[in-house]
Each structure stands twice: as C-alpha cells, then as structure tokens.
Amino acid sequence: MATSNHLTKIAIVGAGGNSGRFITEALLKTGKHTITALTRTDSQSKLPEGALRGQDALIITLSGFAPKVVQTQLINAAGEAGVGWILPNEWAPDTANEVLVQDSLSMPAAFGIDFANHTATLFDEGETKISVSTWPQIGCAVAALLSLPINSEGSNKEDCLENFRNKLVYVNSFTVSQRDMLESALRVTGTKEEDWTVTKEPAQERYSTGIEQIEEGQRIGYAKMMYTRVFYPDGCGDTEHNRGTLNSLLGLPKEDIDEATNRAIERSKGSTWV
C-alpha cells in the first residue's frame, strides 16, 4: 500500500514480453518508480513468498496463450499482499464490449497485410476504421497513468488515479482503416498498389474461417479472429470515437503512422509467432 500520494513501488509480470518491455522502459524513464520484475519457471509454480509485499501496484502482461488461472493466481496473491492497484492483462480492444470480447481470443499478427510478400486482404472494402496502439504508446500510457497522484491535488480534480479505479482506460496511437494502413505501407516501401496483390473478403466470412482453423489446431486462426472481429462495420473497434481516449490527459505523444509501419516491417522480418 502506498505511503504517499504517489505510487513508487511497481511490480510487473512479463517485463521482457512485447508490451511488458515497453511498459518497463517507460516507467524507468520517469525516474519516479522502483520496478520489480517477477518471473516464474512455469504456469504451475508459485511466486516466492513475500514477492509482492510492500508493492504499491502490480502490472500483469501475459501471453494470449497463458492459462487463465495464472492471472487469477497473481491477482489473489496481490490481494493477500495488500497491493492497492492492479493493472490486469487487458492490453486489448474494448473489453467493455462483451460481444467483442466473446468473439475475440488473442492479438498476435498483422492486419491482413503481408509486408514480405506484398499481399493484402481487405475485410469488406477495407474502409472500416479502428483504434490501434503501438507498444511504445502503451508503455507511455501506463507510465503516465501510474505517475498521477492517487488523490487529486490542487484545483485539477481529473488528474488522479482514484478517478480510474475499477475502470477501463482507453488510449490510442491512430484510428485508421486497412486502406490507411496499406497506403502507409506503400509510402514506406516505395511501391505502388499495382505492385501488390490486393484481395477482399467479407469480415464475417473471414472470422468464421478463423474459428474453423482454431478447431483444427491452427494457431493462425487466432489472428484471423482478432484482427477481423474489430473490423466489423458496427464500429466496435473505434474506441476513440465510441469511448473517448485519455491521450490528452496523460500527455501522450502524437505518433507518425509511417514510422510505426516501418517498425512493423522490420519486426516482420524476424521469426513469427505461428
């Protein structure tokens, strides 16, 4: 439990993972927090006795394939240790949208765009816009959020953690369509659309294909499900306009989509998750 009006001692599970690495780096850059990275040998092992004692907050970043019981165990351990704040493993689309959550399972691949082979599958017409966040932006958001005072100080009543207790926090880097993403890829690679093979597929049909692939044991099905469901034309993926974001309050930077695309292209050259 925090002894001042600010969180200083932060524990994080998954500090070396995709989002965890950027969250840890951003927290350290603030110079306001002492970070403890917690690791376990496997999903069956328990945290060392007292590992969470004295921590002000616990951040959980787990693989989409981690057993659900792992997060439950971590939360229970944090509660027993008196940790006052927990950021659960919800680095995802709008988890307040129950239908979207029920229809989606994980977040591991690209948005229907294959940089290496210059192919793109547009869902429906590729015009549906969704809100997306880069890993660096997620890191900045978490660091800014946990740097807020716990209770309001001065005249600004909005800038405090208590206002967000037991609530979802929405941030984003861009609100874009697949067409926007493809146009960015063309600029970054110096190619034209005629250099690519561009096809179209109904979003609901592609989503159904993802379900079938999962049932057959093909992990690529997870990517198809997640990266198709948010593009349904009901606007479920556009949290910027449906929910609003805290980008301004948290002082998050404006990002450049072409820079983000270039990073994605470089990352795609490495080993894949499939």
Q: What is the pLDDT of residues 4-52, one digit of tens each?
A: 899 999 999 999 888 899 999 999 999 999 999 998 655 555 667 788 9
- Write down the pTM of the prediction: 0.85
Tokens 């198709």 -> residue: 228
Residue 194, domain member (yes or no):
yes
Q: How many domains does the chain have?
A: 2
Both 97 and 213 in one domain: the answer is yes
- 61 and 186 in a common domain: no
Q: Which pLDDT does position 95 carry in this prediction?
A: 46
- pLDDT tops 80 at residue 245: yes
Same-domain status, 59 and 40: yes
Claim to verify: residue 62 and residue 100 sit in the same structural domain: no
* CATH code, domain with 113: 3.90.25.10
- What would the pLDDT profile of 193-220 be if each residue is shown by its tens digit? 999 999 999 988 988 998 899 899 887 8
Residues with Cβ within 8 Å of residue 55, at least 6 apart in sequence = 9, 10, 11, 36, 78, 81, 83
In contact, 57 and 7? CB cutoff 8 Å: yes
User: In the chain, how many H helices and how many E strands?
Assistant: 10, 9
- Are 7 and 115 within one domain? no
Please enumerate in sequence order all residues whose Cβ is within 8 A of that of 73, keeping only pairs 6 or more positions apart, or say none: 46
Same domain, 195 and 269: yes
Same domain, residue pair 261 and 200: yes
* pLDDT attached to residue 107: 35
Q: Which of 52-56, 154-158, 254-258 has the lowest mean pLDDT?
A: 154-158
Q: Judge whether 161 lies within some domain.
A: no
Does 240 map to a domain?
yes
What is the greatest pairwise CA distance in the chain? 61
Domain residue limits at 75: 1-91
**Which residues, 6 or more positions from 70, have their beta carbon under 8 angstroms from its beta carbon?**
43, 62
Collapse the DSSP code of 268 into the 3-class scheme (helix H, G, I; strand E, B; otherwise coil) and give the result: helix
Kindly state whether residues 186 and 266 are assigned to the same domain.
yes
Same domain, 175 and 100: yes
Domain-terminating residue out of 91, 117, 152: 91
Q: Which of 132, 101, 112, 90 is nearest to 223 (CA)?
A: 112
44/123 same-domain check = no
Map tokens 């037991």 to a residue: 166
Beta 119-123 vs 130-132: how paired, if at all?
unpaired
Tell me whether residue 96 is in a domain.
yes
Structure tokens at 74: 């971590």
Indicate the residue among 91, 112, 147 that finishes a domain: 91
- Domain shared by 175 and 49, yes or no: no
| Domain shared by 15 and 47, yes or no | yes
- Token pair belonging to 51: 């590992």
